[in-house]
């Protein structure tokens, strides 16, 4: 039975070959691996790059570039075989990861007891604070829906990381009415919005998350400032309800 030294050795053995390689296809060859890796999970895994191979106890972790982890446990007889893509599969192959540059990683297991679990990160959009996010990419993420821009910003499948506070702050900075249909956003507005998102998040980082609701002087431009004067145009900050949550905004200087 593989114990820690064997598992550690397996990790050391496959790491140089599989790290940095892209998964081209996932082929479960046994009922258990088919159950563990649904067709949807297999589609999600294909195209991802293996950024590291690690070990935790007797579990082996293939860490992918989107944060997803493929966790394998050898149980009694499991093992990895690394081979050329065209080579015939070894006996008792239970799972094949077809990799780029003509390699395959094969889980072999005579008794079919080895387990594979896939911990998928939910299908979310690009990070709101990604340095390489462009106005065009942001526009594309947001433009596919008629929903109000504020709600589109909260939709993590479109853009990951923004919540009620920073969506409102970003829209104020960009001078965009939160009710504007997302599909009506223009390219210049997307550029303003991206700058607004970055500025709002930078401000938040400076506060290092110390803000709590109900603080007497809200450190924000609009959030939690209903009735107070807008620092840009002097109009009263107002609220409206969107998706069951309160949106703070300035009717004076946020335009459709």
Q: Is 195 in the site for Zn ion (CB under 5 A)?
A: no
**Among the listed residues 126, 135, 175, 252, the single contact to Zn ion using CB under 5 A:** 252
Smallest CA-to-CA distance from 170 within 128, 210, 130, 140 is with 128
Smallest CA-to-CA distance from 82 within 67, 97, 68 is with 97
Minimum CB distance to Zn ion, residue 235 (Å): 5
Beta strands per DSSP E along 110-244: 115-119, 238-242
Burial of 89 (0-12, 13-18, 19+ CB in 10 A): middle
Residue listed under structure tokens 């070894």: 90
Active-site choice (13, 58, 75, 179): 58
Neighbours of 16 (CB within 10 A): 10
Residue nearest to Zn ion (CB): 230
Active-site choice (12, 187, 202, 245): 245
Q: Are 77 and 110 in contact (CB under 8 A)?
A: yes
- Please say which residue, 44 or 225, places its beta carbon nearer to Zn ion: 225
Minimum CB distance to Zn ion, residue 128 (Å): 23
Minimum CB distance to Zn ion, residue 28 (Å): 57
Q: Is 230 in the site for Zn ion (CB under 5 A)?
A: yes
Q: Is 98 a catalytic residue?
A: no
Q: Is 127 a catalytic residue?
A: no
Rule CB under 5 A: which residues touch Zn ion? 230, 232-233, 235, 250, 252-253
């Amino acid at each position: 039975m593989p114990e820690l030294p064997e598992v550690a050795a397996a990790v050391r053995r496959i790491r140089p070959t599989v790290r940095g390689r892209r998964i081209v296809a996932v082929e479960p060859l046994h009922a258990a691996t088919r159950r563990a890796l649904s067709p949807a999970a297999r589609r999600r895994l294909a195209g991802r790059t293996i950024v590291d191979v690690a070990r935790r106890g007797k579990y082996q972790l293939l860490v992918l570039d989107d944060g997803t982890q493929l966790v394998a446990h050898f149980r009694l007889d499991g093992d990895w075989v690394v081979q050329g893509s065209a080579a015939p599969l070894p006996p008792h192959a239970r799972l094949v990861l077809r990799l780029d540059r003509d390699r395959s990683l094969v889980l072999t297991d005579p008794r079919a007891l080895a387990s594979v679990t896939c911990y998928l990160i939910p299908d979310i959009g690009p990070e709101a604070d990604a340095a390489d996010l462009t106005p065009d990419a942001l526009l594309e993420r947001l433009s596919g829906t008629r929903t109000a821009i504020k709600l589109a910003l909260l939709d993590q499948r479109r853009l990951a990381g923004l919540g009620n506070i920073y969506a409102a702050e970003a829209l104020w900075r960009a001078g965009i009415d939160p009710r504007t249909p997302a599909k009506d956003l223009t390219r210049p507005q997307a550029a303003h919005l991206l700058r607004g998102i970055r500025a709002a998040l930078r401000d938040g980082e400076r506060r290092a998350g110390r803000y709590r609701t109900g603080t007497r002087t809200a450190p924000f431009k609009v959030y939690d400032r209903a009735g107070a004067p807008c620092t840009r145009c002097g109009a009263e900050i107002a609220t409206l309800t969107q998706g069951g949550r309160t949106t703070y905004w300035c009717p004076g200087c946020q335009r459709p």
